[in-house]
Structure formats: C-alpha cells, structure tokens
Chain A
Amino acid sequence: MKGKSLFIEYDWFNGDIPNNIIFGKHVYIDTSYSFAFFLSQQNPGLILGDCAGVYLRTTFVVGPEGYVSVGSYTCLNGAYLISNECIKIGSHCLLAWGSVITDTFLDLNSSVESRRAALKGASLNPNRLLSPVSRPFPVKLEDNVWVGFESVILPGVTLGQGCVIGCKTVISEDIPPYAVVVGDPSRIVRYLEPDDTEAARQRALKEYIGG
C-alpha cells in the first residue's frame, strides 16, 4: 500500500508516504507532511494499526535506526514522535497536539564537545540528520493512554494502561496504570477505576461504529 492517493485525496504538501510502513485497515492520514522527516531504514519502520488516525501536523521524526508502532483506534492528533530506536504505542490511545514522545534526548553527562560534534555532523549530512548525542531508550505507551497537549514523554518511560497525562506535563519516570498525572515536575493526583475491560471494548465496538 504505497503512495498517498489511498489515504489523501487532496494533499497540500508535495511529499511521499514512505514504503516501509505497514498500514492496518481504515487508517487515516491527513497529509504526507507528517513523514517529511521519516528516515527510518527499518522494515517496517512504522506500523499503523487498524483504524489509527494521523491528524493535523502529527510528525514522525524517525532516524535510520528508528521504529514506531501505533496500535488500533489510536488517535495521533498533532503529536511529535521522535525515534532513534523504538516507540511502541498501544491501542485506543489519545495523543494531543504538541505532545512529544521521544526515545532520544540529551544525556546530561554528555560533553559540550560531543554536542558540537553532533551538530557539525548534521551540517554535513544532506538530510541534516542529527545523530543522537546519547543512546536512545525505548518508550512504551500501553493501551488506552491519554496524553494531554504539549506534554513531553522522555526516553525510557513506560506509561501504564489507562493512565492520563495532563497537558504540559513532563514525564521522565514510569507511570503506573490508571494514574492521573499533572504538572512539571509531575505528580500523580489520583487513580481511575480500571473499567476498560475487554467486555467494555467489545460493547463499544458494537455501539460506536458506523451509524
């Protein structure tokens, strides 16, 4: 399923959808602009599950070694996914605008020299690819996670099933399932009822499709 015409009737951006992507059924993509910096050389470099939606300025900044998987019914509504190793996002997740999920950031022990070397290297690369200054750590979002707008999920983090990350929250540690987390520095303010059972999912699939 290569090419944008399958998904995008009128694309304002004159770009391609890379061919190392596996699409589930009924995937929706607003624009190929989302993939303008998708440089993964993995196969696949990206999996979009059934009925996943890639809306607005959702952006995949994925390096040659990067890999992203997105579960079914997950809604990427203007999120930034930055991968040089692995980001796994479960099913039924909501990622709001300006949220950043990254498996790569700066190691605080990295020297200024190594930072300079990375920037010099990028300026010599035709794609201006910036090599990671520190090693990436995989990020995982379990099912039914909700990430509020302009939040940042840092490398190595696992967000437990059903948890909610409030807007503009910065997450640098694992979050347990069904926790509600807000603020910077972040804190857990409550836990939700774990009522998102498979039975509830099946009921919702019957009730909320079509119409």
Chain B
Amino acid sequence: MRAQRFYPIIAGTQIPNDWHKGKIPSNIEVGENSVIDSSFCFERYFANSDVGLRIGNNVTLWRASLSVEENGYIEIGHFCYICNASIVCSRRITIGSYVWIAGGVTITDSDFHPIDPAARLADTIAISPIGNRKSRPAIETGPVYIEDDVWVGYNATILKGVRIGSGAVIAPGAIVINNVPQGAYVAGNPARLVKGIRI
C-alpha cells in the first residue's frame, strides 16, 4: 500500500502507511481539513500540558517539525501552509492565519542554551546522557508572534522575541532578530527593511 501524500491530523492516532512509526500526540487540538504527511513532525514534541498545540482549519503541514518542550505551546491559525520548516518552542510561538512558511525555515523562541559560560557548561552536563534534564539552568525565552498573511521565504530564520506584523514578507535566507512592521519586506543577516510592499 503506497502512502498518500497527506492525511488528516487526528489527535492520538497513527497515520496509515506512515514511514515513521510514531503517533500524532493526543494533547493537541486540530480544526477541520488540516493535513500532514508524517508523524515525524512530532518526533520532538514533548509538551505535557492539556493542549501543547492548536491548529486551525485548512492547514497543511508538509515535512515540518514541531518541537515543543514540556511547557511549550504552539498555536497555528487557519489556511497556513508550512513546508519543511523547524519550529522549536520552549514557551510560546503563535502563528496567525494565511501564513506561508517555506522549506528550510527555522523559528525558535529560545537560544536553546544559556549564554553565560558557567551556566552553559552546566547545561552540557544536564543534557548529557547521564545528566538530569529536569534541572537544566534557566534559558532565556521570548515568545514569537507571526501575524496573519506573513510569508516566510526559504531558509529564513526567526529568532526569539520577534513579532512579525501582518502581511510582512521575510526574504529567503534572512535572519530576523528584531520586530518586523506590518507589510514590510526584510532581507539579510541581520534582516533589514528593504522596502514597503502594498498590503
């Protein structure tokens, strides 16, 4: 039996003919007509709250990875199309409606590790094979908000604490470290305003 390209996202179920022998997590809420290609998307989904992920209606997830830490929460609106992007969430990442996220994109709300050398050293021990992951040093986080109608180009990176205004376009390869105004077009590393576009 050949795999179909897409299957409905149904909480707590296995996808038929999935190449990855995993399950769709049970603590997610999904609207109608939202689809996915493989449960591999949830390989790093560790949210243990009642709802760690909310997905609206008519959403397409294709080869995306939704990594969520225990206390993390990702919200995705309606009609979003997310290609093979990595969304890595420690606390909160909010994506509005009609958002397109291209292949190779990374969106994260933390830097994964502390910047202070002593704390960072301690973190390597805590995350080591014999370490205690529950007692990791504190990691700075900043919620990420991507408003409606944002398009994020190939291989772009959106880092912690950033809000991207509605209708904005992130150029391919851009590394976004600051807020992006509504309807703006930003490019480069760090991403800078190129020109306003019509909304």
User: In the complex, which residues of chain A have a beta carbon less than 8 angstroms from the beta carbon of B197?
Assistant: 108-109
Contact A14 B60 (CB under 8 A): no
In the complex, A154 Cα to B155 Cα: how many Å? 12
**A88 on the interface (CB 8 Å rule)?**
no
In the complex, A108 Cα to B19 Cα: how many Å? 38
Considering the complex, give the chain A residue whose CB is closest to the CB of B17: A14
Would A170 and B172 be within 8 Å (CB), given that A108-B197, A116-B149, A128-B62 are in contact? yes
Segment among B47-55, B97-105, B109-117, B134-142 that sits at the interface with chain A: B97-105
Closest-CB distance, A136 to chain B (whole angstroms): 15
**A2 on the interface (CB 8 Å rule)?**
no
Closest-CB distance, B63 to chain A (whole angstroms): 8
User: In the complex, which residues of chain B have a beta carbon less than 8 angstroms from the beta carbon of A123?
Assistant: 33, 58-60, 79
Closest-CB distance, A64 to chain B (whole angstroms): 14
In the complex, A66 Cα to B98 Cα: how many Å? 25
**B35 on the interface (CB 8 Å rule)?**
yes
Considering the complex, give the chain A residue whose CB is closest to the CB of B185: A108
Closest-CB distance, A194 to chain B (whole angstroms): 28
**A152 on the interface (CB 8 Å rule)?**
yes
Choose from A12, A15, A100, A115 the contact partner of B104 (Cβ within 8 Å).
A100
Chain B contact residue count (CB 8 A cutoff): 41
**A112 on the interface (CB 8 Å rule)?**
yes
User: In the complex, which residues of chain B have a beta carbon less than 8 angstroms from the beta carbon of A108?
Assistant: 169, 185, 195, 197
User: In the complex, which residues of chain A have a beta carbon less than 8 angstroms from the beta carbon of B2?
Assistant: 14-16
Choose from B3, B98, B173 the contact partner of A184 (Cβ within 8 Å).
B173
User: In the complex, which residues of chain B have a beta carbon less than 8 angstroms from the beta carbon of A105?
Assistant: 153-154, 172
Choose from B3, B5, B174 the contact partner of A127 (Cβ within 8 Å).
B5
The CB with the most chain B CB atoms within 10 A, among A16, A33, A184, is that of A184
Considering the complex, give the chain B residue whose CB is closest to the CB of A97: B104
Interface of chain A, main secondary structure: loop
Choose from B1, B6, B37, B188 the contact partner of A185 (Cβ within 8 Å).
B188
Chain A contact residue count (CB 8 A cutoff): 40
In the complex, A16 Cα to B171 Cα: how many Å? 33
Would A184 and B153 be within 8 Å (CB), given that A128-B35, A168-B173 are in contact? no
Would A116 and B98 be within 8 Å (CB), given that A37-B5, A100-B154, A130-B81 are in contact? yes
In the complex, A187 Cα to B55 Cα: how many Å? 41
Closest-CB distance, B42 to chain A (whole angstroms): 18
B1-26 residues with Cβ-Cβ distance < 8 A to A are: 1-3, 5-6, 17, 19
Contact B154 A112 (CB under 8 A): no
Contact A102 B154 (CB under 8 A): yes
Considering the complex, give the chain A residue whose CB is closest to the CB of B173: A170
**B130 on the interface (CB 8 Å rule)?**
no
In the complex, A151 Cα to B104 Cα: how many Å? 10
- Name the 5 nearest CB pairs between A and B, nearest first: A123-B58, A170-B173, A152-B172, A100-B154, A119-B79
Q: List 24 A-B contacts (CB under 8 A).
A: A15-B2, A15-B3, A36-B5, A37-B62, A59-B84, A102-B154, A105-B153, A108-B195, A109-B197, A112-B167, A116-B79, A116-B149, A119-B79, A120-B58, A122-B60, A123-B59, A123-B79, A127-B6, A128-B6, A152-B153, A170-B173, A170-B187, A184-B174, A184-B187
